[in-house]
């Protein structure tokens, strides 16, 4: 189906999908019908009768250390991260860390890009397909838009001047299959490396790009509510912003992104 009608308005499939994504970003978790439902009556309804069945015997599951020892994997990540005293050492430690299954299916390790001395560190979510191919964050369509956005306020990942430079990394350094969202355990074992990464780079401010970055850094989601409001992450000023991939799907949101960029520029210039 290419088109549908909503409240008398004909929508194409792409617009309908964008509206659905916007509702999810705003926290909508249930569809409402035309007729009101009595929740008390629904809750009081008796459960359906059970049908006696003999289930087939389930095969025994064999858990590996990676499956049943998340605290152990996190502790190993913390130990490796703490031992790294340079960004190169941290990259080497994280690349050899085997406590994350994503490593087995990804093409390339995707650590960082830009100038490590930059005042601004951009924390994204996870590598996509093009990032996985090149081993660098934000190099696909979303990355190209990110470059244009920050170039508009005089910042670039190519700049050798720390005052005008960007340093870019992600919560995850390995691509999730199918570009799915990172799982909680994947974020948990990556966070020790993220914290140490930010300690070593020591940026003045952090830009949290999208829901996953906000979840990892400040424990909150709902980027359309969070964006544009300064907070603290990893002991530094942080500005949540909508991910460029979202802006590609929802061009009108670029207006708010521009306001966020101006807020960042003002903070860097000491005017906020």
- 181 located within any domain: yes
For 51, how many CA atoms within 13 A lie in the half-sphere containing its CB? 2
Question: Which residues 6+ apart lie within 8 Å of 5 measured at CB?
Answer: 11
Provide the pLDDT for residue 146: 98
- Which of 88, 94, 91, 104 has its CA nearest to residue 73? 94
Q: Is residue 27 part of a domain?
A: no
Judge whether 74 and 188 are in contact, CB under 8 Å. Answer: yes
Parallel/antiparallel/unpaired status of strands 9-12 and 3-6: antiparallel
Q: pTM of the full predicted structure?
A: 0.75
Per the domain annotation, does 44 fall within a domain? no
The tally of domains found in the chain comes to 1
Return the pLDDT at 236. Answer: 98
Instruction: Using the structure block, give the residue that is written with the tokens 């340079």.
Output: 86
Q: Does some domain include residue 14? A: no
Q: Is residue 60 part of a domain?
A: no
Q: Please report the DSSP string for the chain in residue order.
A: --EEEETTEEEEHHHHHHHHHHHHHTT--S---SS---HHHHHHSPPPPPPP--PPPPPPP---HHHH-HHHHHHHHHHHHHH--SHHHHHHHHHH----GGGGT-SS---EEE-TT-SEEEEES---HHHHHHTSSS-SHHHHHHHHHHHTTT-BTT-SSGGGBEEEEES-SSPPGGGPPPPHHHHHHHHHHHHHHHHHH--SEEEEESHHHHHHHHS---HHHHTT--EEETTEEEEEE--HHHHHH-GGGHHHHHHHHHHHHHHHTT--
Tokens of 134: 């090149």
How many beta carbons lie within 10 A of that of residue 62, not counting itself? 6
Q: Are 173 and 230 in contact (CB under 8 A)?
A: no
Structural domain contains residue 93: yes
What integer pLDDT is reported at residue 6 of this predicted model? 54
Q: Per DSSP, what are the bridge partners of residue 208?
A: 123, 240
Range of the domain at 194: 70-268
| pLDDT tens, per residue, the chain with 272 residues | 455 555 556 666 666 666 666 666 555 556 666 666 665 555 555 555 544 444 434 333 333 334 569 999 999 999 999 999 999 999 999 999 999 999 999 999 999 999 999 999 999 999 999 999 999 999 999 999 999 999 999 999 999 999 999 999 999 999 999 999 999 999 999 999 999 999 999 999 999 999 999 999 999 999 999 999 999 999 999 999 999 999 999 999 999 999 999 999 999 998 55
**Per-residue pLDDT, 216:** 97
Whether residue 244 is contained in a domain is answered as yes
| Residue 130 resides in a domain | yes
CATH number at residue 227: 3.40.470.10
């Amino acid at each position: 189906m290419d088109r549908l009608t909503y409240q008398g308005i004909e929508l194409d499939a792409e617009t309908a999908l964008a509206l659905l994504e916007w509702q999810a970003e705003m926290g909508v978790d249930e569809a409402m019908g035309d007729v009101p439902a009595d929740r008390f009556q629904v809750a009081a309804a008796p459960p359906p009768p059970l049908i006696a069945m003999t289930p087939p015997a389930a095969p025994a599951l064999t858990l590996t250390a990676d499956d049943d020892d998340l605290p152990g994997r996190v502790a190993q990540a913390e130990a490796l991260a703490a031992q790294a005293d340079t960004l190169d050492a941290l990259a080497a430690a994280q690349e050899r860390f085997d406590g994350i299954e994503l490593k087995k299916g990804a093409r390339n390790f995707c650590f960082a890009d830009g100038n490590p001395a930059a005042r601004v560190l951009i924390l994204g979510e996870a590598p996509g397909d093009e990032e996985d191919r090149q081993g660098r964050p934000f190099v696909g369509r979303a990355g190209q838009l990110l470059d244009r956005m920050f170039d508009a306020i005089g910042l670039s990942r190519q700049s050798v001047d720390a005052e005008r430079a960007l340093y870019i990394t992600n919560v995850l350094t390995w691509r999730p299959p199918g570009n799915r969202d990172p799982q909680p355990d994947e974020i948990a074992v990556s966070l020790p490396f993220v914290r140490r990464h930010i300690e070593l780079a020591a940026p003045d401010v952090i830009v949290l790009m999208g829901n996953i970055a906000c979840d990892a850094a400040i424990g909150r989601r709902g980027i359309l509510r969070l964006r544009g409001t300064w907070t603290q992450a990893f002991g530094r000023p942080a500005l949540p912003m909508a991910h460029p991939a979202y802006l590609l799907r929802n061009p009108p949101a670029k207006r708010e992104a521009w306001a966020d960029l101006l807020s960042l520029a003002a903070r860097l210039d000491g005017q906020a």
